Amino acid sequence: MDTFNLLMDGFASALTPMNLLFAFAGVMLGTAVGVLPGIGPAMAVALLLPVTYGMETSSALIMFAGIYYGGMYGGSTTSILLNTPGESATVITAIEGHKMAKAGRAAQALATAAIGSFIAGTIGTALLVTIAPFVVKFAVSIGDPSYFAIMVLALITVTAVLGSSKIRGFASLGLGLAIGLVGADPVTAQDRLTFGIPTLVDGLDIVVVAVAIFAIGEALWIAAHLRTTPAKTIPVGTPWMGKEDWKRSWKPWLRGTAFGFPFGALPAGGAEVPTFLSYVTEKKLSKHPEEFGHGAIEGVAGPEAANNASAAGTLTPMLALGLPTNATAAVMLAFLMMKGIQPGPLLFENEPELVWALIASLFIGNTLLLLINLPLAPMWAKLLKIPRPFLYAGILFFATLGAFSVNMQAMDLWMLLLIGLLGFALRRFGLPVLPLILGVIICPMAEVRLRKTFQLSNGDISGLWSEPLAVGIYILIAVLLSLPLWIALFRRLRGKPAVSEDAIAIDHIEVPSDEAGAGSNQPTNTSGLKGSDKK
Amino acid sequence: MTIVVGYIPSPEGEAALDRAIVEAQRSGSRLVVVNSSKGDQLVDDKLLDAREFHLLDERLASAGIDFWIERSSQGSDAAENILHVAEAQRAELIVIGLRKRTSIGKFILGSTAQRIILQAHCPVLSVKVNSGW
């Protein structure tokens, strides 16, 4: 019961009035940025990084956790009311949720999403508490070659398996790794990619990169597409559910959680696959299959639960292995490194108060979200009426201030602008943002592991596969990468068309072309979304 | 001759439109309804959608007047739009609806009605929601 005691200690430190206030601020801010398409929790956390210099690490982390969960919740509100998924994980929610809203059942859709998120988030966090210590025990025992292999696995899966276009994904990953390499070589201290500029020897500050890619890139993109025909609001009352809705929702909630957590907890991450699986399962198991496509409540309840459970699951590799698999977790990890805390398996041992306060605050944040979101849903919908010039002027201001305050160097502002233009180019050419950010953050960590591996093997390349676990992971990577080929081959042998029925279902979502691929948190568009993008 | 009315789907907009229809019927003028949005908000209820446009179309047709509906979802703000249309049509009258605004709100955001009244080259009739007594 050691874990339980640690968790209780975590609650004790998270429940101080000051930290509760930060948790509250976090969930409010998180929901707000989640509601606004294009402004995700990752951007919010990146913009707040400089503000948190003077704050207690645990307070800041508690606030970030609130933003993380709040963003998940807010995204579903926009999906349901506007049919504009704020992030890729809520694409599936939009299919049924928006149909429900159009049929005048917006209140029920929002309610099942909120309560489902709460249940899935709570169960997911509980699973995180149980599983994380085991992962840590396992992670401490593995060597550098295996660790490097796991990082490669995470990068490959995020890039190749989740994205719509593998080439675009790898292009983005390559850019990220290149940015991550800037600075002095960790072993030989040679300058790399510094172009003779002395300030680049320390490497690019992760805050500058994150703020530039998320905030500046997005602001430029919106500025280029500002004048669009606005959408109409769907009137919402306070969310509520009838008896029938409860009866039809609770099983999808639990099944969605079961899908979501394992996928999130794998160092492959991503909420897309589990939400999609959950949707397909609910469609098969439902007693009202004819309602699917016309606003079935199961189709909102299941994927929403899967989405939040996977959000909780994602924190497992982030805390236990120091390996983030989504953008928000990546920026949170950057925050830990900024504070001089070494992420990785030793985090639980070295900083137990911090970790357990964070986990306790996840429970608290989840409860707060349910309490404030059920009555406040109509207010969140009003946020969409803010004229965007005001909004993005504010974002640009904070972005510039933040990037400058990191090192107080004018050079950083130029870098901000330059990488911001890169962020704009990513959106312009449909490159996902997530592989780039993960590349920047994981690159230095992976490099250290790689160099150690080679030092152990005296520079022999066979050192890479000197551990059985590493060999297993490389085989897994090979299987994952060749999976589409196998599926295509299998289909051809059976004489079936290559496009499945479910892929067509996603095509029905209408995403305004300026939103598709533009979301800061929407790097991994499904193929259906890209299809509508080209219209 | 032409009467220009600024219209958005709100009580003030309705009041202005009602009055403008009466004026157009009385003088036999052509009525130009201007509905616009800057298009910088993600969600905007001020702009008529296809259904509302159709309903407005029917309503004006049944009022027995000559009319035209200007609908623009992009670009300049409402005051500029109305003034521009009024000038182009050589309007004899502009009808607008007034809403209550605090002085601070006016200071920060400005007042569309004030700009129209000050800059128009023709008489401006401003209507309040509860103008009847």
What does the pLDDT read at residue A24?
92
- B51 chain-A contacts, CB cut-off 8 A: none
- pLDDT for position A347: 86
The whole-number pLDDT of residue A510 equals 39
Say if the Cβ atoms of B42 and A36 lie within 8 Å: yes
Please report residues of A whose CB lies closer than 8 A to that of B48: none
Q: State the complex-level ipTM.
A: 0.72
Q: Are A278 and A256 in contact (CB under 8 A)?
A: yes
Domain extent, residue A45, equals: 2-224+240-533
B49 touches chain A (CB under 8 A): yes
Q: Which among A83, A98, A388 is the top mutation candidate for probing chain B, defined by the most B β-carbons within 10 Å of its own β-carbon?
A: A388
pLDDT at A526 over 50: no
Q: Choose from A78, A228, A514 for mutation: most chain B CBs within 10 A.
A: A228
Predicted local distance difference test score (pLDDT) of residue B72? 78
> Considering chain A, what is the average pLDDT of its residues?
82
For residue A495, being part of any structural domain is answered with yes
Instruction: Please give the tally of structural domains in chain A.
Output: 1
Question: Quick one: which of A326, A312, A323 has its CA closest to A369?
Answer: A312
Domain contains A88: yes
CB contact under 8 A, A229 and B40: no
| A385/B44 touch (CB, cutoff 8 Å), yes or no | yes
Contact residues on chain A for B45, CB-CB shorter than 8 A: 232-233
Res A1: pLDDT: 55
Contact A230 B37 (CB under 8 A): yes
Please say if the pLDDT value at position B112 is more than 90: no
User: Mutate which of A77, A226, A227, A392 to test chain B, going by most B C-beta atoms within 10 A?
Assistant: A227
**Set of chain A residues whose Cβ sits within 8 Å of the Cβ of B74:** 227-229
* Residue A425 pLDDT: 94
CATH superfamily of B2-127: HUPs (3.40.50.620)
Beta strands in B1-133 (DSSP E): 2-6, 30-36, 67-72, 93-97, 124-127
Distance from CA of B35 to the nearest CA of A (A): 13
Tokens, residue A92: 């599936």
Average pLDDT over residues B115-125: 91
Q: Where are the domains of chain B?
A: 2-127
User: What is the model's pLDDT at position A281?
Assistant: 87
A183-184 and A191-192 strand pairing? antiparallel
For the stretch B74-90, pLDDT in tens is 767 888 889 999 999 89
What are the residues facing B3 on neighbouring strands?
B31, B93
Residues of A with CB under 8 A from a CB of B: 36-37, 82, 84, 226-233, 381, 384-389
Instruction: List the single residue in A232, A386, A387 with the smallest CB-CB distance to B49.
Output: A232
For residue A139, which of A149, A129, A126 has the smallest C-alpha distance? Answer: A149
Average predicted confidence (pLDDT) for chain B = 85
Q: Is residue A232 part of a domain?
A: no
Reply yes or no on whether the pLDDT at A34 is more than 70.
yes
- Give the DSSP per-residue string, A60-90: HHHHHHHHHHHHHHHHHHHHHHHS--SSGGG
